[in-house]
Amino acid sequence: MNQIVLTGFMGAGKSTVGKILAEKLRLPLIDIDTEIQSEHQISITEIFANLGEPVFRTIEHQTLTSALLKDAVISTGGGIILSNDNRSILESADFVVYLKTSPNTFLARLKGDTTRPLIQEKSREEIISLFESRTKLYEGVAHLILETDELTPEEIANQIKQDFEIRKEQA
């Protein structure tokens, strides 16, 4: 399949890079959070507040499963790797890229963001702890780990495209 899945913590640039990469590869972009909001006509924040995180994670899993049946660039939510089932299906995906971003970078990007329910009312230390608890999970499903702090979204997309094309040639 022609499929690239972008994973990483909140603020890693998955949506931004996903748009650029999808254009470069002439593939559709499936942003998991956007798909969920569109299908359910409710924001992620409202799902968390009204239905709870377990319901959101079930919907997220269903959306990921559906997305992985298509040729596309797939941008995931930061917590997608928390589920054993999601990690299992990600391991069998075509090409999974972990956009690795340092706490200083993602904290700067997330400053003032009120759309992410898991960081509302959390201290800097709590957010970093959340990130650190997920790092090995991201790394465990990734075919490519890309350090992004010093790269522009365009450079990140170019690197992923290059690695993806090399991988396809070797397959």
Residue 87 marked as a ligand binder: no
Query: Mean pLDDT across the stretch 119-140?
Result: 88
What pLDDT was estimated at residue 29? 98
Instruction: Write out the residue range of the structural domain in which residue 97 sits.
Output: 3-170
Q: How confident is the model at residue 35 (pLDDT cuts 50, 70, 90)?
A: very high
pLDDT digits (tens, 9 = 90+) for 69-126: 999 999 999 999 999 999 999 988 999 999 999 998 888 877 766 666 556 677 889 8
In this structure, what CATH number is given to the domain that contains residue 36?
A: 3.40.50.300
Is residue 109 annotated as involved in ligand binding?
no
Phi, psi of 97 (to 5 degrees): -115, 125
pLDDT at 150: 93
Query: What pLDDT sits at residue 1?
Result: 84
Say whether 112 counts as a known binding-site residue: no
Secondary structure (H, E, C), the chain: CCEEEEECCCCCCHHHHHHHHHHHHCCCEEEHHHHHHHHHCCCHHHHHHHHCHHHHHHHHHHHHHHHCCCCEEEECCCCHHHCHHHHHHHHCCCCEEEEECCHHHHHHHHCCCCCCHHHCCCCHHHHHHHHHHHHHHHHHHCCEEEECCCCCHHHHHHHHHHHHHHHHHHC
pTM of this prediction?
Answer: 0.93
Number of domains the chain contains: 1
For the stretch 42-67, pLDDT in tens is 998 899 889 998 999 999 999 999 99
Q: How far apart are CA 119 and CA 161, in angstroms?
A: 31
Residue 15 labeled ligand binder: yes
> Band of the pLDDT at 133, cuts 50, 70, 90?
very high
| 12 labelled ligand-binding | yes
116 is in an annotated binding site: yes
77 known member of a binding site: no
97: β partners: 6, 144
pLDDT at 146: 97
- Distance between CA atoms of 77 and 36, rounded to whole angstroms? 11
